[in-house]
């Protein structure tokens, strides 16, 4: 009977330990849900308000990506964005990052309408940079997968502004 209870206890401990390990692993992976496929190595903020706070605190620009799950253009841009090493590296190190599947109450983030995908930059003085635009005159803040080099230039522009203006 002693052997039986030792075995049962061992199995119980193994079960508890593996559940604990899974819980710890899950805990560590928490930010992944916020990435929504845009880049799992990037630290994403959860809300626009948190993004503004972090931008001010860290003196980094905030990059806001508006997108929707069922939008094919968003999906295509997301794939190109996630696969581009230069973007991922800059996003990890030089920006406060936020991707949103709903609109914010800040009308400055939709100067020419509420379309997706839409990427805007907010500098650490909390000014929405309406001057950093994409290539399309009808949707100023949209990017397509082939516009990734242009998006990289705009990220660099956002970083440069901090050094020159702020």
Q: Give phi and psi for 161, each to the nearest 5.
A: -60, -40
- Checking if the pLDDT of 55 tops 90, the result is yes
Average pLDDT taken over every residue of the chain: 88
Could you give the dihedral angle defined by the CA atoms of residues 161, 162, 165 and 166, in that order, rounded to the nearest 10 degrees?
A: 160
Domains in the chain with CATH codes: 48-159 (3.40.30.10)
Q: Give phi and psi for 58, each to the nearest 5.
A: -95, -10
The answer to whether 120 and 128 have CB atoms below 8 angstroms apart is yes
How, if at all, do strands 118-122 and 62-66 pair?
A: antiparallel
How far apart, in whole angstroms, are the C-alpha atoms of residue 123 and residue 23?
A: 37
pLDDT band of residue 15 (cuts 50, 70, 90) is low
pLDDT band of residue 161 (cuts 50, 70, 90) is confident
Residue ranges in 59-142 assigned as alpha helix (H): 72-83, 85-94
Could you give the dihedral angle defined by the CA atoms of residues 81, 141, 146 and 78, in that order, rounded to the nearest 10 degrees?
A: 30
β strands within 26-141, DSSP E: 62-66, 96-100, 118-122
- Checking if the pLDDT of 157 tops 90, the result is yes
Model confidence pLDDT, tens digit, residues 104-124? 889 999 999 999 999 999 999
In the prediction, which pLDDT does 10 show?
A: 63
How far apart, in whole angstroms, are the C-alpha atoms of residue 139 and residue 116?
A: 9
- The pTM for the full model equals 0.80
How, if at all, do strands 118-122 and 96-100 pair?
A: unpaired
In the prediction, which pLDDT does 4 show?
A: 65
In the prediction, which pLDDT does 147 show?
A: 97
Lowest mean pLDDT among 12-16, 108-112, 115-119, 135-139: 12-16
In the prediction, which pLDDT does 105 show?
A: 87
């Amino acid at each position: 009977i002693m052997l039986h209870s030792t075995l049962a206890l061992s199995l119980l401990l193994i079960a508890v330990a593996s559940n604990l390990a899974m819980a710890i692993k899950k805990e560590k992976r928490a930010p992944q849900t916020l990435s929504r496929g845009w880049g799992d190595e990037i630290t994403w903020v959860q809300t626009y308000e948190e993004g503004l706070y972090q931008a001010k605190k860290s003196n980094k620009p905030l990059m806001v990506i508006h997108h929707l799950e069922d939008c094919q253009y968003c999906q295509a841009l997301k794939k190109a964005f996630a696969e581009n090493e230069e973007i991922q590296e800059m996003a990890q190190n030089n920006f406060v990052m936020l991707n949103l599947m709903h609109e914010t109450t800040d009308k400055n983030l939709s100067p020419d309408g509420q379309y997706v995908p839409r990427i805007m930059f907010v500098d650490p003085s909390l000014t929405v940079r309406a001057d950093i635009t994409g290539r399309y005159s009808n949707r100023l803040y949209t990017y397509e997968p082939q516009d990734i080099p242009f998006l990289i230039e705009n990220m660099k522009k956002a970083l440069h502004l901090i050094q020159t203006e702020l």
